[in-house]
Chain A
Amino acid sequence: DVKVTQSSRYLVKRTGEKVFLECVQDMDHENMFWYRQDPGLGLRLIYFSYDVKMKEKGDIPEGYSVSREKKERFSLILESASTNQTSMYLCASSLWGESNTGELFFGEGSRLTVL
């Protein structure tokens, strides 16, 4: 089974702090994604990556950056956390090709509270 592991389930940070959210997948998937999930809204894509050292902006990249130095690891960085970044952050990976649907496999999520 595919496993996507996020480093922290719950974090509490103060405004202005730098925050690192780590995500590791163990199935050699090329594609990795960071979403945030807020009540009443659909999942919103922050950044995604199709390959090592590659990154693409999603719908809401402002205030975030990412790093993909190894295929299995995709990190989300909040350079200076703000209260409006309080949210659930979901990492996902997928294998995309003609022989599969490309469904996403999600991590358990990291609930970040910024005070």
Chain B
Amino acid sequence: GQNIDQPTEMTATEGAIVQINCTYQTSGFNGLFWYQQHAGEAPTFLSYNVLDGLEEKGRFSSFLSRSKGYSYLLLKELQMKDSASYLCAVRDSNYQLIWGAGTKLIIKP
């Protein structure tokens, strides 16, 4: 079956760096997405990787290794507003999205 694994919850300190991992086993691969979802709100798009390597966008970066079925989202200079759930999703060979359960990130002062 198809599967996306990511940690359920992580805690980090304001101003620090945190890495949220995502591993996947899917039928084919046509891109990996990261979304941010604040409590009670809609998910919003953060990043997209389809080729191996690092994509940087301000304080957020996303890395992909297709051979390892692995991605991470790196958040630098953490702010309290980064407290949210982070969702990893992979688009499979049928162009359907497979979603992880999300990682709840708690930022402490």
A interface, by DSSP: helix, strand, loop or mixed?
loop
A62 interface hit (Cβ, 8 Å): no
Give the residue of B41, B91, B95, B101 whose beta carbon is less than 8 angstroms from that of A42: B101
Q: Do the beta carbons of B43 and A106 come within 8 Å of each other?
A: yes
Chain B contact residue count (CB 8 A cutoff)? 24
Q: Which of A27-58 contact B (CB under 8 A)?
A: 40-45
Residues of A contacting B91 in the complex (Cβ-Cβ under 8 angstroms): 102
Give the residue of B44, B48, B50, B99 whose beta carbon is less than 8 angstroms from that of A43: B99
Give the residue of B8, B33, B42, B102 whose beta carbon is less than 8 angstroms from that of A108: B42
Residues of A contacting B98 in the complex (Cβ-Cβ under 8 angstroms): 42
Q: Do the beta carbons of A107 and B45 come within 8 Å of each other?
A: no
A115 interface hit (Cβ, 8 Å): no
What is the bound-complex CA distance between A90 and B94, given in angstroms?
A: 22
Q: Do the beta carbons of A106 and B31 come within 8 Å of each other?
A: no
Known: A101-B48, A103-B33, A103-B48. A42 touches B87 (CB 8 A): yes
Interface residues of A (CB under 8 A from B): 4, 40-45, 90, 96, 101-109
A–B Cβ pairs within 8 angstroms, 12 of them: A40-B101, A42-B100, A43-B97, A44-B99, A45-B97, A101-B31, A101-B50, A103-B33, A104-B33, A104-B43, A106-B43, A106-B44
